[in-house]
């Protein structure tokens, strides 16, 4: 049996709308106009123990609604959801004791206290036996290099330091399932790498299942074997990163550096314009339709090309096109 089973999950929010202005506010006291928004529209998936899954989608697609349902703090309108045999929202306290949740945008640490005090409070809140807590703490301190931070008040930590501490805080009770919501947002390059390396070790060595929501495609490429894409409350695709790539054929990106930054562009058959920044022009093409050599020959004849290079279509582009296609549908 899979660790997480989700079947036909449905959730609709009632959003009350207020008409603008003072008169609108007064009207709002008496009668509210409500709009129904379908956040989840029949979401189904299974996740096995030890998987590292990226859960991505544009803003408002239903990502955080799914995570809220899985973590037991939101009751869906319909569908089935079982995590390790528990229905999360029916036994919230038993459930949340077995999971960890990290929000990149906000800390769960006590702002005015030294880091280690927060860790001790969490030990008491989660009722972790002191020897087990000590063992977990020592391990996390070593893995995340927290020793010099333990006595520093949280408000004095840099964002990267704080994120490492927040990761430790979410794992002190030894959860088997970890939700990470944009764990690398706003971090510098070194901190990003440290956080990614830690997540990978945690997943490989401790078999902790990780569900990662992010807008950073580098996170996904570095970490995840499996990507689920959600848009408008429905799973658009679910599979390996490779499968997501091939969804648009094996497309390549051709970037040209033109001699004249103002040269007018002519639409090129068999390609799609990805973007232009002055002299730099990016095109997507499928080598099965038009070979790179042929395309380069044609472009070289048309423009004064200073430089050019061909690469695999970046995952950002793949995802952006997926969202676009969905929005157009």
Partner 1 sequence: MNDARLLVRLLGVSMRSQLQYRASMVMQSVGHLLVTGIEFLGVWALFARFGQLDGWTLAEVAVFYGVVNVSFALADAGGRGFDQVAARIKQGDFDRLLLRPRSTALQVAGLELTLKRIGRLSQGLAGLIWGLSALGVGWGPGRVALLAWIVVGATSMFYGLMVVQATIAFWTTESLELMNVLTYGGVETAQYPMSVYRRWFRRVFTYVVPLACVCYLPVLALIERPDPLGAPLWAQRVAPAAGLVFLAGALALWRGGVRRYTSTGS
Contact residues: partner 1, CB under 8 A: 11, 13-14, 65, 68, 71-75, 89, 92-94, 96-97, 99, 101, 103, 106, 108, 110-113, 117, 121, 124-127
What tokens appear for 27 in the block?
Answer: 């009207």
Q: Which is nearer to partner 1, 75 or 292 (CB)?
A: 75
Q: Which is nearer to partner 1, 89 or 248 (CB)?
A: 89
Q: Which is nearer to partner 1, 31 or 106 (CB)?
A: 106
Q: Which is nearer to partner 1, 10 or 97 (CB)?
A: 97
Q: Which is nearer to partner 1, 67 or 217 (CB)?
A: 67
Nearest distance, CB of residue 3 and partner 1, angstroms: 18
Nearest distance, CB of residue 254 and partner 1, angstroms: 43
Nearest distance, CB of residue 261 and partner 1, angstroms: 45
Nearest distance, CB of residue 206 and partner 1, angstroms: 20
Nearest distance, CB of residue 29 and partner 1, angstroms: 8
Instruction: State in Å, rounded, how far the first CA of the chain is from the last one.
Output: 35
Nearest distance, CB of residue 154 and partner 1, angstroms: 11
CA 49, chain centre distance (Å): 19
Under 8 Å CB-to-CB from 109, ≥6 apart: which residues? 115, 118, 154, 162, 165, 166, 169
Sign of CA dihedral 170, 171, 175, 177: positive
Q: Which is nearer to partner 1, 123 or 245 (CB)?
A: 123
Nearest distance, CB of residue 162 and partner 1, angstroms: 15
Q: Which is nearer to partner 1, 76 or 217 (CB)?
A: 76
What tokens appear for 259 in the block?
Answer: 């001699």
E-only strand ranges, 186-298:
209-213, 226-231, 234-240, 252-258, 271-277, 280-285
Cα separation values, 120 from 83, 104, 113, 151, 229, Å: 28, 21, 11, 12, 38
Phi, psi of 166 (to 5 degrees): -65, -35
What one-character DSSP code corresponds to residue 169?
H
DSSP per-residue string spanning 93-138: HHHHTTEEEEETTS--S-TTSBHHHHHHHHHHHTT--HHHHHHHHH
């Amino acid at each position: 049996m899979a660790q997480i089973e989700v079947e036909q999950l449905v959730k609709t929010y009632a959003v009350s709308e207020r008409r603008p202005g003072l008169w609108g506010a007064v009207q709002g006291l008496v009668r509210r106009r409500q709009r129904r928004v379908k956040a989840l529209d029949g979401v189904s998936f299974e996740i096995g123990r030890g998987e590292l899954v990226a859960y991505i989608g544009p803003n408002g697609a239903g990502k955080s609604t799914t995570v809220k349902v899985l973590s037991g703090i939101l009751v869906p309108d319909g569908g089935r959801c079982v995590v390790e045999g528990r229905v999360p929202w029916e036994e919230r306290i038993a459930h949340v004791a077995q999971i960890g949740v990290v929000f990149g945008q906000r800390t769960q640490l006590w702002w005015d206290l030294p880091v280690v005090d927060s860790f001790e409070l969490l030990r008491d809140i989660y009722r972790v036996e002191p020897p087990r807590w000590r063992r977990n703490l020592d391990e996390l301190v070593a893995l995340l290099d927290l020793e010099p931070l333990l006595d520093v008040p949280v408000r004095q930590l840099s964002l990267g330091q704080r994120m490492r501490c927040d990761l430790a805080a979410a794992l002190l009770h030894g959860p088997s399932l970890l939700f990470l919501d944009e764990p690398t947002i706003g971090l510098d390059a070194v901190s990003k790498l440290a956080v990614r390396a830690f997540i990978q070790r945690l997943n490989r060595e401790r078999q902790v299942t990780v569900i990662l929501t992010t807008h950073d495609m580098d996170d996904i490429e570095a970490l995840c074997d499996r990507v689920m894409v959600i848009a408008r409350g429905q799973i658009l695709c679910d599979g390996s990163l490779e499968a997501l790539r091939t969804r648009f054929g094996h497309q390549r990106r051709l970037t040209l550096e033109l001699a004249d930054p103002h040269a007018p562009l002519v639409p090129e058959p068999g390609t799609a314009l990805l973007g232009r920044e002055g002299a730099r022009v990016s095109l997507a093409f499928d080598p099965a339709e038009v070979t790179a050599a042929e395309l380069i020959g044609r472009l070289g004849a048309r423009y004064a090309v200073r430089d050019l290079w061909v690469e695999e279509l970046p995952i950002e582009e793949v995802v952006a096109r997926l969202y676009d296609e969905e929005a157009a549908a």
